[in-house]
Amino acid sequence: MSLRLRLTLWYTGLLAVLLLLVGAMVFSRVQASVVGGVDRELQQKGDQIAQLALLTSGTTAITDPLLTIITASFEPDIYVQVRENTRRVIIRSKNLGRAVIDLPEPYYQQAMHSMAGFYNLSIRQPDDLRVYFAPIMVNGHTVGIVQVARNLAPQQAILRELSNNLLVLFTIALALAAGVGYWLTGVALQPIKEATATALAITRTGNLKRRVPIRRQRMDEIGALISTFNEMLDRLEELFEKQRRFTGDISHELRSPLTTILGNLSLLRRAKNLPEEEREDMLNEMHSEAERMHRLISDLLLLSQADSGLAINRAPVELDTLLLESYRLAKRRAGAGLAIHLTHEDQAVVMGDADRLRQVLDNLINNAIRYTPRGGSIELSLHCLGDEAMISVADTGQGITAEDLPHIFDRFYRADKARTRAAGGTGLGLSIVKWIVDAHNGRIEVESTPGEGSVFHIYLPVAAPCTES
Ligand code: ADP
């Protein structure tokens, strides 16, 4: 059963119960008031006659002519009957004709015990006769019983009409509520229907560009659901796009070194009498391409482990020792064309993974070497800033333009594609740096001026208060 139908049935059902309760209350109130009016009238008349009998000290004194005089003031549909205490009917009002108003045993006994009361008699279904009975008492004894009755037909007709009217009214109200409710639920659920249709269309066509249409901005739960759904689609589309680009980039990155290696190999195979020097060059090129592929695959492996939530080891690491080692290595790697200085070194210990932190320094220093032309300089430093340590790698290289700066930490992003690939980079170095720094609860900042140089600052929380030297 659809939600729309279920909701409509629910509140129509609730409304029906409510209307039934209200109807029953109204009906019983009106009934009580109508029957109460009749009772009051019957009691008044009955007591009058009983009083009269009392004044004349006995039932026998109420003669037919006397009763006629009394009842003359009564309405024509009020019946009067007087019985002796033996139950024998001695007087009846004329309008009764040959009929006798019954006095069932329990009420007779009640009257004999000096009590008055009311009861209903069914003489002609469905109309009832309402009867009041009262004892005629002489010296504390019941000598006779007065019965005054009235046909309830007019009152019952009123009540029947009332119940019929209520029934018609409630039926109309229920039908209206069900119709309007069904329509309103349909309107309210329309956006959900559209969201379902969109999700289905995406599943069938694989087109992640589709969105649930927003006809007007809604601030309610449905509005929140739709904007969350659309946001989720944005995110999915972005992820799929990223994934697609990533796969394309990997294939591209792997293809170019392989092409070089395969080309060189076939040349080496064909040209047997190649000069030794040329042969050596080709082997060197193949070696460096194979090394690049190796680096790329290791980087990719690391990033995929990072994506699947690889946790880093945590042990105290002396950043100053680490920086000193990286500095020495960089000096050897850079050769004589670049000046590398360790300008400032405070002492700082962080909780982290020494190998990964070394990788951060190596990647940053390698980039600085790679993108700084001969004659330039690179400065390394470690500063203690209270509860964090700052490592800086500054170079006087080519710098990074303002457009490239926000993207350099993206995977496979290269400011100058041809040049940086030729320089031997994989395009993954800074993504790895960012992941490692984030995993150590640190942050990375970069400032750069194209043509003048770049500075990378790494901030890491220290394990114990560090000391400035
Ligand atoms: P790559 O392996 O290509 O160096 P990275 O992720 O390490 O990849 O760096 C991304 C890009 O950022 C580089 O291609 C380069 O354009 C730019 N870049 C990184 N470091 C520097 C630097 N010190 N000077 C100038 N450009 C840099």
Q: Which residues contact 396 (CB under 8 A, 6 or more apart)?
A: 372, 376, 377, 378, 452, 453
- Which CA distances in Å does 393 have to 360, 361, 384? 11, 8, 15
Q: Return the pLDDT at 364.
A: 96
Angstrom distance (rounded) from CA 85 to CA 58? 11
Average pLDDT rounded to a whole number, residues 137-151? 87
Average pLDDT rounded to a whole number, residues 90-112? 88
* Domain 221-307 CATH class label: mainly alpha
HEC letters along 188-241:
HHHHHHHHHHHHHHHHHHCCCCCCCCCCCCCCCHHHHHHHHHHHHHHHHHHHHH
Q: DSSP code of 467?
A: B
415 Cβ inside 6 Å of ligand 1: yes
The closest alpha carbon to 202, from 168, 172, 230, belongs to: 230
Q: Does the structure show a pLDDT above 70 at 71?
A: no
With beta carbons less than 8 A apart as the criterion, state whether 305 and 276 touch: no
With beta carbons less than 8 A apart as the criterion, state whether 136 and 143 touch: yes
Query: 3-state SS of the chain: helix, strand, coil percent to 5?
Result: 55, 20, 25
* Single-letter code of the amino acid located at 260: T
Lowest-confidence pick of 163-167, 214-218, 407-411: 214-218
151 Cβ inside 6 Å of ligand 1: no
Do you know the residue count of the chain? 469
Q: Return the pLDDT at 73.
A: 65
Q: How far is the CA of 367 from the centre of ligand 1 (A)?
A: 6
413 Cβ inside 6 Å of ligand 1: yes
Beta strands in 355-430 (DSSP E): 377-385, 388-395
Ligand 1 atom closest to Cα of 411? 6
Angstrom distance (rounded) from CA 302 to CA 435? 10
Q: Return the pLDDT at 222.
A: 82
429 Cβ inside 6 Å of ligand 1: yes
**What residue segments make up the domains of the chain, in order of their start?**
3-157, 221-307, 315-461
Per-residue pLDDT of 216-233, as tens digits, reads 777 788 888 888 989 999
Angstrom distance (rounded) from CA 260 to CA 238? 33
Please give the CATH superfamily to which domain 315-461 belongs.
Histidine kinase-like ATPase, C-terminal domain (3.30.565.10)
| CATH 3.30.450.20 correct for 3-157 | yes
Q: Does the structure show a pLDDT above 70 at 387?
A: yes
| Two structure tokens written together for 210 | 């589709």
Per-residue pLDDT of 290-348, as tens digits, reads 998 998 999 899 888 888 888 888 999 999 999 999 999 999 888 788 999 999 999 99
Angstrom distance (rounded) from CA 245 to CA 189? 38
| Two structure tokens written together for 311 | 């946790």
Q: How far is the CA of 372 from the centre of ligand 1 (A)?
A: 11
* Radius of gyration for the alpha carbons in the chain, expressed in angstroms and rounded: 53
The closest alpha carbon to 146, from 98, 74, 83, belongs to: 83
371 Cβ inside 6 Å of ligand 1: yes
Ligand 1 atom closest to Cα of 393? 23
454 Cβ inside 6 Å of ligand 1: yes
Average pLDDT rounded to a whole number, residues 76-91? 86
User: Tokens 């039908």 identify what position?
Assistant: 175
